[in-house]
Amino acid sequence: MSKPDPMKTYETHKCRLLRVYGLTTYEKLFLFRFDDPEIAQSWRFMPGQFVELSLLGHGEVPISICSSARRMGFFELCIRKAGRVTSEIHELKPGDLVRIRGPYGNGFPMDRFYDRDLLLVAAGLGMAPLRSVFLYALDNRWLFGNITIINSSKLGKELLFAKELKAMRDIATAENIEIIQTATRDPDWGGLTGRAPSHLDKANVDPKKCTAALCGPPRMYKSMFEQMITLGYDPRYIFVNLERRMKCGVGKCGHCNIGTATSWKYACKDGPVFDYYDIISIPGLI
Amino acid sequence: MRYVKIPTEKVCEFLERLKAMGTLYGPKKISEKFYDFKEIGDVKEVEFEYNRTITPPRKFFFPERETVFTFDTANVEIHETLPTGEPIIIFGVHACDIVGLRIMDSRFIDDQPDPYYQIRRENGIIIGLSCLPDEYCFCSVRRTDFVDAGFDLFLHPLPDGYLIRVGTVTGHKLIENSPEYFEEISSEDKDNFAKFETKRRSMFTVQGNWDDMRYRLELHLEHPMYMRESDRCLGCGNCTLTCPTCRCYEVKDLPTLDGTGGERIRFWDSCQFRSHGLVAGGHNFRPTRKVRFHNRYQCKNAYCETTTTAYCVGCGRCTYYCPADIQFKENLLEVYGTGGGA
């Protein structure tokens, strides 16, 4: 094996913002293209991976990629206006330039998903990385069995990509895809209510031959795991995408450290995707 | 391995010779009680019998603060400021600190190598020096008190000089280039080396092996020691800043006043600081002093595959320099020994 090139570790690429779509009050979707055609040609990622986005002079933030890995030269980031850097990112206009490094993290092991049904369960911003898995499955439809996606949030207007998912309804029926969108605490919401686990019974998947990917707050995982195992889902095929303070993205800076003395992990490098057995053997992971 | 001897009276001359090869750093007395690695001007200032330096040798390869690149905001261009690769020689590194550097290597020169660290490390010469432990040392139970690798030369005290182990080709070259300072070892030197080792080993206040420490800790994650001791912790970060294997860093952009350019810097961070786990939106992954304190005990006792040791090498700095006198070794032994009912 040849020695890894140290200059690749933190290498950044110039990217141009092409479009900005408003999603909710606090979240926007940003479509970027690599400025260098050679990078645009060669840059690849897997669903569940993230990039570090730099606004020079302001700082750098880790953001999950939410577009399809099949779409090359472009990528989309769903960014919540939450802090100093993301507030500046929300001010960007089409044509503006940023710098990107990555992709980082292990991503979802997609070979563990093939020829099986697919269950995606997202809560809140968890929809961003799972949208990447969902679009990947649509773009490689023949590699997957039945597909269910459960998208949940507190309020109906906070549901990420709600319109996009709604618009897919016709093709979803034709493609054996069940789309469930639920608001957990919204009296004004006309659609489904209740938390994601309460809609598991509506999934069109066979638990015994289904791979599941979950992304949401830690308390959702606990209730989801209990229910999924009761329903007969195979724990070897349950994956979660965890977020920590992934500052460097390459297992160096230490901010995303998780675990205990026997199971010390860097979320950015050992994760952010972990499986069920990681969760039960690494205290503090969720 | 090749062994040679350097007689006491030749050591200073050898250090002078080393100075010609690059910047020489070594342990110096900096106050009544403390030592630190400093650039060596006068070789007579090198302390051969120091207990520990305040700052760990990792600072030569991973400085407290460095510019990673400068930038131009108008064109969104960056210019990496890589180290120049000036040769440096670090003399007098204790065995525990050498393992500390190897632990640093395992994380910073992995499949995604850190270029800033790697360039400096490749241009560094490490000359080890054996030592006698004080009551703060517990490298023996960490299996880091005697090193097999990670040094170019390693000096073991003899009554009339030093027995030198030659660890690398660079080490061989150092000997070959200055043959006038070295001689072959005698059977008396071998005896004296063995005597020193016996004495050294007998002096540790804690004996045995802590390879199972991490499991003992994990079986008692709620041990009352954490609450009691973290209540005394000032959160100053001295333990992590002086630690030879702590490597958390923070990154910041420093724009120029007119906003057209600036630099991105990185600098040592500490998991004992509140800001370490703080993310946008105000959530903190380690919000209390207790969880931050707990975090360090877990991290330091985790397993490093490269060295097959814990990340803690038992140098004793975190206790020696703790302003609250928190006893790391004793606290670990408390959890190890009793379980405390937790």
In this structure, the answer to whether residues B184 and B226 fall within a common structural domain is no
pLDDT at residue A81 in the model? 96
CB contact under 8 A, A252 and B217: no
pLDDT at residue B162 in the model? 98
Provide ipTM, 2 decimals. 0.93
In this structure, the answer to whether residues B10 and B47 fall within a common structural domain is yes
Q: How far apart are CA B312 and CA B244, in angstroms?
A: 8
pLDDT at residue B128 in the model? 98
CA distances from residue A47 to A25, A76, A109, A133, A247 in whole angstroms, order as listed: 25, 12, 9, 5, 20
Quick check: is B183 in a domain?
yes
Check residue A157 and give left, alpha or beta (phi > 0: left; psi -120 to 50: alpha): alpha
In this structure, the answer to whether residues B145 and B249 fall within a common structural domain is no
Of B202, B230, B258, the last residue of a domain is B202
Residue tagged 């065995």 (tokens): B95
Range of the structural domain that residue B306 is part of: 213-341
Quick check: is B261 in a domain?
yes
Which sign does the torsion angle of CA B282, B288, B292, B295 carry? negative
pLDDT at residue A72 in the model? 84
Question: For residue range B236-291, what is the model confidence (pLDDT) as tens digits?
Answer: 999 999 999 999 999 999 999 999 999 999 999 999 999 999 999 899 999 999 99
* Residue A90 at interface with chain B, using a CB cutoff of 8 Å: no
Neighbours of A209 (CB within 10 A): 14
Question: For residue range A194-213, what is the model confidence (pLDDT) as tens digits?
Answer: 999 999 999 999 999 999 99
In this structure, the answer to whether residues B185 and B259 fall within a common structural domain is no
B53 token code pair: 């330096």
pLDDT at residue A66 in the model? 96
pLDDT at residue B339 in the model? 43
What contacts B319, CB < 8 A, 6 or more positions away?
A: B136, B325, B326, B327, B328, B329
Strands A257-260 and A263-266: antiparallel
HSE of B216, CA atoms in CB hemisphere, 13 A: 16
Quick check: is B76 in a domain?
no
Residue type, A96: D
CB contact under 8 A, A261 and B298: yes
A249 pLDDT higher than 60: yes
Long-range contacts of B107-112, Cβ-Cβ distance < 8 Å, separation of 24 or more: B107/A251, B107/A252, B107/B247, B108/A252, B108/B61, B108/B62, B108/B247, B110/A251, B111/A4, B112/A4, B112/A8, B112/A9, B112/A250, B112/A251, B112/A252, B112/A269
What is the widest separation between alpha-carbon atoms in chain B? 71
CA distances from residue B67 to B28, B78, B254, B264, B275 in whole angstroms, order as listed: 28, 12, 10, 6, 21
In this structure, the answer to whether residues B226 and B167 fall within a common structural domain is no
pLDDT at residue B341 in the model? 40
Question: For residue range B295-337, what is the model confidence (pLDDT) as tens digits?
Answer: 999 999 999 999 999 999 999 999 999 999 999 999 999 999 8
Find the CB nearest A9 among B73, B112, B250: B112
* Residue A257 at interface with chain B, using a CB cutoff of 8 Å: yes
pLDDT at residue A1 in the model? 59
In this structure, the answer to whether residues B168 and B114 fall within a common structural domain is yes
- Chain B residues touching A248 at Cβ < 8 A: 249, 251
From A120's Cα to the closest Cα of chain B, the distance in A is 25
- Chain B residues touching A53 at Cβ < 8 A: none
Question: For residue range B171-226, what is the model confidence (pLDDT) as tens digits?
Answer: 999 999 999 999 999 999 999 999 999 999 999 999 899 999 999 999 999 999 99
CB contact under 8 A, B280 and A61: yes
Going by pLDDT thresholds of 50, 70 and 90, the confidence category of residue A245 is very high
Of B176, B202, B228, the last residue of a domain is B202
For residue B257, give the 3-state DSSP assignment. coil
Of B159, B179, B202, the last residue of a domain is B202
Quick check: is B208 in a domain?
no
Q: How far apart are CA B342 and CA B333, in angstroms?
A: 15
CB contact under 8 A, A252 and B247: yes
B340 pLDDT higher than 60: no
pLDDT at residue A243 in the model? 87
- Chain B residues touching A57 at Cβ < 8 A: 71, 73, 253, 255, 259, 262
Mean pLDDT computed over every residue of chain A: 95
In this structure, the answer to whether residues B53 and B151 fall within a common structural domain is yes
Rounded to the nearest 5 degrees, what angle is found at the Cα of A229, between the Cα atoms of A223 and A230? 90
Quick check: is B207 in a domain?
no
CB contact under 8 A, B76 and A98: yes
> How does A168-198 read in b/e, with b if 16+ C-beta sit within 10 Å?
beeebeeeebbbbbbbbebeebeebbebbbb
pLDDT at residue A232 in the model? 95
Which residues 210-239 in chain A show a CB within 8 A of chain B?
A: none
Could you tell me which residue, A77 or A171, shows the higher pLDDT?
Answer: A77
Domains of chain A with bracketed CATH: 6-104 (2.40.30.10), 110-241 (3.40.50.80)
B65 pLDDT higher than 80: yes
In this structure, the answer to whether residues B22 and B131 fall within a common structural domain is yes
From A249's Cα to the closest Cα of chain B, the distance in A is 10
Which residue in A has a C-alpha nearest to residue B311's C-alpha?
A: A261
From B119's Cα to the closest Cα of chain A, the distance in A is 9
Question: For residue range B151-173, what is the model confidence (pLDDT) as tens digits?
Answer: 999 999 999 999 999 999 999 99
Instruction: For residue A237, give the nearest of A197, A205, A202 by alpha carbon.
Output: A205
When divided into structural domains, chain B yields a total of 2
CB contact under 8 A, A261 and B259: no
Residue among B76, B309, B336 with most chain A CBs within 10 A, to mutate: B76
From A64's Cα to the closest Cα of chain B, the distance in A is 15
Q: How far apart are CA A94 and CA B130, in angstroms?
A: 62
Rounded to the nearest 5 degrees, what angle is found at the Cα of B278, between the Cα atoms of A61 and B239? 115
B217 token code pair: 């800790």
In this structure, the answer to whether residues B164 and B269 fall within a common structural domain is no
A2 pLDDT higher than 90: no
Instruction: For residue B199, give the nearest of B210, B191, B209 by alpha carbon.
Output: B191
Residue among B223, B249, B279, B309 with most chain A CBs within 10 A, to mutate: B279
pLDDT at residue B327 in the model? 97
Going by pLDDT thresholds of 50, 70 and 90, the confidence category of residue A7 is very high
- Chain B residues touching A283 at Cβ < 8 A: 218, 221
B338 pLDDT higher than 70: no
In this structure, the answer to whether residues B294 and B270 fall within a common structural domain is yes
Q: How far apart are CA A50 and CA A64, in angstroms?
A: 4
CB contact under 8 A, B218 and A97: no
Question: For residue range B112-149, what is the model confidence (pLDDT) as tens digits?
Answer: 999 999 999 999 999 999 999 999 999 999 999 999 99
Question: For residue range A90-125, what is the model confidence (pLDDT) as tens digits?
Answer: 999 999 999 999 999 999 999 999 999 999 999 999
Residue among B104, B213, B275, B285 with most chain A CBs within 10 A, to mutate: B285
Cβ(A242)–Cβ(A271) below 8 Å: yes
Quick check: is B28 in a domain?
yes
Quick check: is B9 in a domain?
yes
Instruction: For residue A286, give the nearest of A247, A245, A242 by alpha carbon.
Output: A242
pLDDT at residue B342 in the model? 42
In this structure, the answer to whether residues B174 and B234 fall within a common structural domain is no
Q: What is the number of CB-based contacts under 8 A between chain A and chain B?
A: 127
HSE of A203, CA atoms in CB hemisphere, 13 A: 30
> How does B204-230 read in b/e, with b if 16+ C-beta sit within 10 Å?
bebeeebeebbebbbebbebebbeebb
* Residue A1 at interface with chain B, using a CB cutoff of 8 Å: no
Quick check: is B235 in a domain?
yes
- Chain B residues touching A257 at Cβ < 8 A: 271, 295, 299
Cβ(A47)–Cβ(A69) below 8 Å: yes
Cβ(A205)–Cβ(A119) below 8 Å: yes
Going by pLDDT thresholds of 50, 70 and 90, the confidence category of residue A284 is confident
Q: How far apart are CA B306 and CA A245, in angstroms?
A: 26
Which residue in A has a C-alpha nearest to residue B281's C-alpha?
A: A82
Which residue in A has a C-alpha nearest to residue B254's C-alpha?
A: A57
From B262's Cα to the closest Cα of chain A, the distance in A is 7
CB contact under 8 A, A59 and B118: no
From A189's Cα to the closest Cα of chain B, the distance in A is 26
CA distances from residue A146 to A67, A168, B29 in whole angstroms, order as listed: 21, 15, 71
Q: B111 burial class (0-12, 13-18, 19+ CB within 10 angstroms)? A: exposed
In this structure, the answer to whether residues B145 and B235 fall within a common structural domain is no
